[in-house]
Amino acid sequence: MFTNVVVRVPGKSLADGLSGADLGKPNYTNAIVQHEYYINALTKTGVNITVLPPMEEFPDSCFIEDNALCTPKCAIISRPGAPTRRKEVQSPDLRATLEQHYDHIEEIKAPGTIEPGDIMMVGDHFYIGLSARTNKEGAEQMIGYLEKYGMSGETVTMKEMLHLKTGVNYLEHNNLLISGEFKSDPRFDKFNKIEIPEDEGYAANCIWINDYVIVPKGYPKTKKAIEDLGQYKVLECDTSEYKKVDGGLSCLSLRF
Ligand code: CIR
Protein backbone atom coordinates (compact mmCIF):
# COMPACT_ATOMS: atom_id res chain seq x y z
CA MET A 1 0.00 0.00 0.00
CA PHE A 2 1.37 3.40 -0.95
CA THR A 3 0.08 6.58 0.66
CA ASN A 4 2.42 9.15 -0.83
CA VAL A 5 3.72 10.08 -4.22
CA VAL A 6 6.21 12.82 -5.09
CA VAL A 7 6.61 14.17 -8.61
CA ARG A 8 8.65 16.98 -10.13
CA VAL A 9 7.26 19.06 -12.98
CA PRO A 10 9.56 19.00 -16.03
CA GLY A 11 11.32 22.18 -17.08
CA LYS A 12 11.68 23.48 -20.63
CA SER A 13 15.19 21.98 -20.51
CA LEU A 14 13.58 18.50 -20.74
CA ALA A 15 14.41 18.78 -24.45
CA ASP A 16 18.08 18.44 -23.45
CA GLY A 17 17.52 15.32 -21.37
CA LEU A 18 19.82 12.36 -21.80
CA SER A 19 18.62 10.07 -24.53
CA GLY A 20 19.66 6.93 -26.32
CA ALA A 21 16.39 6.92 -28.27
CA ASP A 22 16.07 8.15 -31.82
CA LEU A 23 12.63 9.69 -31.45
CA GLY A 24 13.37 13.42 -31.61
CA LYS A 25 13.21 15.92 -28.79
CA PRO A 26 10.27 16.10 -26.41
CA ASN A 27 7.73 18.85 -26.97
CA TYR A 28 7.48 20.86 -23.76
CA THR A 29 3.79 21.75 -24.03
CA ASN A 30 2.81 18.15 -24.66
CA ALA A 31 5.09 16.98 -21.86
CA ILE A 32 3.33 19.29 -19.41
CA VAL A 33 -0.08 18.01 -20.52
CA GLN A 34 1.08 14.40 -20.14
CA HIS A 35 2.51 15.21 -16.71
CA GLU A 36 -0.82 16.68 -15.58
CA TYR A 37 -2.59 13.59 -16.86
CA TYR A 38 -0.10 11.42 -14.93
CA ILE A 39 -0.90 13.36 -11.73
CA ASN A 40 -4.62 12.87 -12.42
CA ALA A 41 -4.14 9.14 -12.81
CA LEU A 42 -2.17 9.00 -9.56
CA THR A 43 -4.93 10.93 -7.81
CA LYS A 44 -7.40 8.17 -8.74
CA THR A 45 -5.33 5.66 -6.77
CA GLY A 46 -5.99 7.54 -3.55
CA VAL A 47 -2.45 8.68 -2.71
CA ASN A 48 -1.36 12.09 -1.38
CA ILE A 49 0.67 13.84 -4.06
CA THR A 50 3.46 16.36 -3.57
CA VAL A 51 4.29 18.29 -6.72
CA LEU A 52 7.77 19.81 -6.73
CA PRO A 53 8.65 22.68 -9.08
CA PRO A 54 10.81 22.36 -12.19
CA MET A 55 14.59 22.61 -11.97
CA GLU A 56 15.66 24.07 -15.31
CA GLU A 57 19.35 23.48 -14.61
CA PHE A 58 18.71 19.73 -14.55
CA PRO A 59 17.00 18.54 -17.76
CA ASP A 60 16.28 15.05 -16.36
CA SER A 61 15.08 16.13 -12.91
CA CYS A 62 11.43 15.22 -13.58
CA PHE A 63 12.67 11.61 -13.43
CA ILE A 64 12.62 11.94 -9.69
CA GLU A 65 12.53 8.20 -9.09
CA ASP A 66 16.28 8.26 -9.61
CA ASN A 67 16.84 10.69 -6.71
CA ALA A 68 15.93 8.46 -3.78
CA LEU A 69 14.84 5.00 -2.73
CA CYS A 70 11.79 5.33 -0.52
CA THR A 71 11.23 2.18 1.54
CA PRO A 72 8.64 1.64 4.28
CA LYS A 73 11.36 2.17 6.91
CA CYS A 74 13.78 4.76 5.55
CA ALA A 75 14.61 6.88 2.54
CA ILE A 76 18.01 6.68 0.90
CA ILE A 77 19.11 9.63 -1.24
CA SER A 78 20.89 8.33 -4.31
CA ARG A 79 24.05 9.40 -6.13
CA PRO A 80 23.15 9.28 -9.83
CA GLY A 81 25.67 7.71 -12.15
CA ALA A 82 25.00 10.21 -14.95
CA PRO A 83 27.29 13.20 -14.28
CA THR A 84 24.65 15.69 -15.49
CA ARG A 85 22.21 14.27 -12.95
CA ARG A 86 24.51 13.98 -9.94
CA LYS A 87 23.53 17.26 -8.31
CA GLU A 88 19.77 16.80 -8.72
CA VAL A 89 19.74 15.09 -5.35
CA GLN A 90 21.12 18.16 -3.59
CA SER A 91 17.94 20.14 -4.17
CA PRO A 92 16.67 21.31 -0.77
CA ASP A 93 13.03 20.66 -1.66
CA LEU A 94 13.77 16.95 -2.19
CA ARG A 95 15.30 16.57 1.26
CA ALA A 96 12.63 18.74 2.89
CA THR A 97 9.90 16.61 1.33
CA LEU A 98 11.52 13.38 2.47
CA GLU A 99 11.96 14.80 5.97
CA GLN A 100 8.23 15.37 6.19
CA HIS A 101 7.70 11.63 5.84
CA TYR A 102 10.80 9.93 7.21
CA ASP A 103 12.67 9.88 10.53
CA HIS A 104 15.54 8.04 8.87
CA ILE A 105 17.25 9.42 5.76
CA GLU A 106 20.51 7.97 4.49
CA GLU A 107 22.74 8.93 1.55
CA ILE A 108 24.84 7.05 -0.99
CA LYS A 109 28.38 8.38 -0.96
CA ALA A 110 31.25 8.53 -3.52
CA PRO A 111 32.56 6.48 -5.19
CA GLY A 112 29.20 4.72 -5.12
CA THR A 113 26.67 5.55 -7.79
CA ILE A 114 23.10 4.33 -7.93
CA GLU A 115 19.92 5.37 -9.72
CA PRO A 116 16.80 3.86 -8.16
CA GLY A 117 15.38 3.17 -11.60
CA ASP A 118 17.71 0.23 -11.09
CA ILE A 119 15.94 -0.88 -7.91
CA MET A 120 12.83 -3.06 -7.80
CA MET A 121 11.05 -3.57 -4.49
CA VAL A 122 9.42 -6.93 -3.80
CA GLY A 123 8.14 -6.79 -0.23
CA ASP A 124 11.17 -6.17 1.95
CA HIS A 125 13.63 -7.47 -0.66
CA PHE A 126 15.17 -5.23 -3.31
CA TYR A 127 16.68 -6.25 -6.66
CA ILE A 128 19.42 -3.85 -7.72
CA GLY A 129 20.59 -3.77 -11.33
CA LEU A 130 24.27 -3.18 -11.96
CA SER A 131 23.96 -0.88 -14.96
CA ALA A 132 25.95 1.87 -16.62
CA ARG A 133 24.47 4.15 -13.90
CA THR A 134 24.68 1.93 -10.81
CA ASN A 135 28.03 0.55 -9.73
CA LYS A 136 28.94 -2.26 -7.34
CA GLU A 137 29.98 0.20 -4.62
CA GLY A 138 26.64 2.02 -4.85
CA ALA A 139 24.71 -1.25 -4.73
CA GLU A 140 26.73 -2.47 -1.74
CA GLN A 141 26.10 0.75 0.17
CA MET A 142 22.41 0.44 -0.64
CA ILE A 143 22.25 -3.18 0.55
CA GLY A 144 24.05 -2.10 3.74
CA TYR A 145 21.35 0.51 4.43
CA LEU A 146 18.56 -1.95 3.63
CA GLU A 147 20.02 -4.48 6.07
CA LYS A 148 20.43 -1.79 8.74
CA TYR A 149 16.63 -1.36 8.66
CA GLY A 150 15.77 -5.06 8.51
CA MET A 151 15.38 -5.40 4.74
CA SER A 152 17.55 -7.13 2.13
CA GLY A 153 18.90 -6.68 -1.37
CA GLU A 154 20.68 -8.53 -4.14
CA THR A 155 22.39 -7.38 -7.31
CA VAL A 156 21.34 -8.26 -10.86
CA THR A 157 23.87 -8.17 -13.67
CA MET A 158 22.59 -6.32 -16.72
CA LYS A 159 23.97 -5.77 -20.18
CA GLU A 160 21.51 -3.95 -22.40
CA MET A 161 18.91 -1.85 -20.67
CA LEU A 162 19.24 1.62 -19.20
CA HIS A 163 17.77 0.69 -15.82
CA LEU A 164 16.57 -2.55 -14.21
CA LYS A 165 12.98 -1.29 -14.25
CA THR A 166 13.25 -0.48 -17.94
CA GLY A 167 12.70 -4.22 -18.30
CA VAL A 168 11.24 -5.73 -15.15
CA ASN A 169 8.50 -4.44 -12.83
CA TYR A 170 6.69 -6.04 -9.90
CA LEU A 171 2.91 -5.66 -9.74
CA GLU A 172 2.47 -7.31 -6.32
CA HIS A 173 0.43 -10.59 -6.06
CA ASN A 174 3.56 -12.39 -7.34
CA ASN A 175 3.02 -10.90 -10.83
CA LEU A 176 6.08 -9.64 -12.67
CA LEU A 177 6.23 -7.82 -15.99
CA ILE A 178 9.38 -8.93 -17.71
CA SER A 179 11.07 -8.19 -21.03
CA GLY A 180 14.27 -8.56 -23.01
CA GLU A 181 17.41 -9.69 -21.26
CA PHE A 182 15.62 -10.50 -18.00
CA LYS A 183 13.27 -13.13 -19.46
CA SER A 184 15.91 -15.83 -19.20
CA ASP A 185 17.23 -14.91 -15.74
CA PRO A 186 16.33 -17.86 -13.46
CA ARG A 187 16.14 -15.64 -10.39
CA PHE A 188 12.77 -14.40 -11.67
CA ASP A 189 11.33 -17.88 -12.28
CA LYS A 190 9.53 -17.91 -8.93
CA PHE A 191 7.22 -15.13 -10.12
CA ASN A 192 4.19 -15.34 -12.34
CA LYS A 193 5.99 -13.84 -15.33
CA ILE A 194 4.04 -11.74 -17.80
CA GLU A 195 6.37 -11.65 -20.77
CA ILE A 196 6.19 -8.41 -22.71
CA PRO A 197 6.41 -8.88 -26.49
CA GLU A 198 9.44 -7.29 -28.11
CA ASP A 199 7.38 -4.74 -30.05
CA GLU A 200 5.91 -3.46 -26.77
CA GLY A 201 9.15 -3.51 -24.76
CA TYR A 202 8.62 0.03 -23.46
CA ALA A 203 5.45 -1.14 -21.68
CA ALA A 204 7.40 -3.38 -19.30
CA ASN A 205 7.64 -0.20 -17.23
CA CYS A 206 4.21 -0.03 -15.61
CA ILE A 207 3.50 0.98 -12.03
CA TRP A 208 1.41 -0.69 -9.36
CA ILE A 209 -0.28 1.60 -6.87
CA ASN A 210 -2.85 0.15 -4.46
CA ASP A 211 -4.17 -2.38 -6.97
CA TYR A 212 -4.32 0.12 -9.77
CA VAL A 213 -1.81 -0.51 -12.52
CA ILE A 214 -0.87 2.42 -14.71
CA VAL A 215 0.14 1.32 -18.21
CA PRO A 216 1.69 3.52 -20.90
CA LYS A 217 -0.81 4.43 -23.61
CA GLY A 218 -0.46 2.63 -26.91
CA TYR A 219 0.59 -0.87 -25.85
CA PRO A 220 -2.62 -2.92 -26.23
CA LYS A 221 -1.09 -6.40 -25.79
CA THR A 222 0.47 -5.46 -22.47
CA LYS A 223 -2.70 -3.71 -21.30
CA LYS A 224 -4.80 -6.76 -22.14
CA ALA A 225 -2.35 -9.15 -20.47
CA ILE A 226 -2.60 -7.12 -17.25
CA GLU A 227 -6.39 -6.80 -17.49
CA ASP A 228 -6.67 -10.56 -18.05
CA LEU A 229 -5.03 -11.17 -14.68
CA GLY A 230 -8.31 -9.88 -13.23
CA GLN A 231 -6.60 -8.38 -10.16
CA TYR A 232 -6.21 -4.73 -11.07
CA LYS A 233 -7.93 -1.58 -12.14
CA VAL A 234 -5.94 -0.54 -15.21
CA LEU A 235 -5.35 3.10 -16.13
CA GLU A 236 -3.56 4.33 -19.24
CA CYS A 237 -1.24 7.31 -19.39
CA ASP A 238 0.44 8.76 -22.45
CA THR A 239 4.17 9.11 -21.75
CA SER A 240 5.30 9.45 -25.37
CA GLU A 241 7.16 12.75 -24.75
CA TYR A 242 9.11 11.15 -21.91
CA LYS A 243 9.91 8.08 -23.97
CA LYS A 244 11.94 10.39 -26.25
CA VAL A 245 14.36 10.87 -23.35
CA ASP A 246 14.25 7.25 -22.15
CA GLY A 247 11.74 7.98 -19.38
CA GLY A 248 8.73 5.92 -18.41
CA LEU A 249 5.97 5.74 -15.83
CA SER A 250 8.06 4.66 -12.85
CA CYS A 251 10.79 7.27 -13.45
CA LEU A 252 8.32 10.11 -12.99
CA SER A 253 7.54 9.54 -9.31
CA LEU A 254 8.61 8.44 -5.87
CA ARG A 255 5.96 6.14 -4.38
CA PHE A 256 5.88 5.12 -0.72
C1 CIR B 1 18.20 9.51 -18.02
O2 CIR B 1 18.83 9.05 -18.98
O3 CIR B 1 18.65 9.54 -16.88
C4 CIR B 1 16.82 10.08 -18.28
N5 CIR B 1 16.80 10.67 -19.58
C6 CIR B 1 15.77 8.99 -18.16
C7 CIR B 1 15.68 8.44 -16.77
C8 CIR B 1 14.77 7.30 -16.65
N9 CIR B 1 14.63 6.93 -15.28
C10 CIR B 1 14.24 5.74 -14.84
O11 CIR B 1 14.11 4.80 -15.62
N12 CIR B 1 14.08 5.60 -13.53
Q: What's the pLDDT band for 109 if we cut at 50, 70, 90? A: very high
Residue 118 Cβ < 6 Å to ligand 1? no
Q: Which atom of ligand 1 is nearest to the CA of 82?
A: 3
Residues 6+ apart with CB under 8 A from 251: 63, 64, 65, 66, 117, 163, 205, 242
Residues 156 and 135: beta-carbon distance below 8 Å: no
The pTM (predicted TM-score) of the whole model is 0.98
Ligand 1, residue 66: give the atom nearest the CA: 12
Would residue 74 show up in a list of annotated catalytic residues for this protein?
no
Q: In the prediction, which pLDDT does 231 show?
A: 98
Q: What distance separates the 2 farthest-apart alpha carbons in the chain?
A: 45
User: What pLDDT, on the 0 to 100 scale, is given for residue 162?
Assistant: 97
Model confidence at 171, pLDDT cuts 50, 70, 90, reads very high
- pLDDT tens column, 2-32: 999 999 999 999 999 999 999 999 999 999 9
Query: HSE (CB half, 13 Å, CA atoms) of 51?
Result: 10
pLDDT tens digits along 123-164: 999 999 999 999 999 999 999 999 999 999 999 999 999 999
Residue 99 CB: number of other CB atoms within 10 A? Answer: 11
Q: Give the pLDDT of residue 93.
A: 98
Euclidean distance between CA atoms 230 and 46, whole angstroms: 20
Element (DSSP H or E) covering residue 52 = strand 48-52
pLDDT at 102: 98
Q: Decide the pairing of beta strands 75-77 and 105-107.
A: parallel
Q: Is 251 a catalytic residue?
A: yes
The CA distance from 52 to 214, in Å, is 21
Whose C-alpha lies nearest to ligand 1, atom 2?
A: 18
CA 80 – CA 59 distance, rounded (Å)? 14
Q: Is 216 exposed, middle or buried (0-12, 13-18, 19+ CB in 10 A)?
A: buried
Across 79-95, average pLDDT: 98
Residue 172 CA, ligand 1 centroid: distance in Å = 23
- Residue pair 217/239 in contact by the 8 Å Cβ criterion: yes
What pLDDT, in 10s, does the model give residues 206-256? 999 999 999 999 999 999 999 999 999 999 999 999 999 999 999 999 999
Residue 75: phi and psi, rounded to 5, are: -115, 145
Residue 230: partners with Cβ closer than 8 Å, 6 or more residues away = none
- Quick one: pLDDT at residue 224? 98
What pLDDT shows up at residue 124?
98
Domains and CATH numbers, the chain: 4-255 (3.75.10.10)
Rounded to the nearest angstrom, the distance between the alpha carbon of 88 and the centre of ligand 1 is 13
How do residues 30-84 score in pLDDT, each as one tens digit?
Answer: 999 999 999 999 999 999 999 999 999 999 999 999 999 999 999 999 999 999 9
- Ligand 1 centre to CA of 18 (Å) is 8
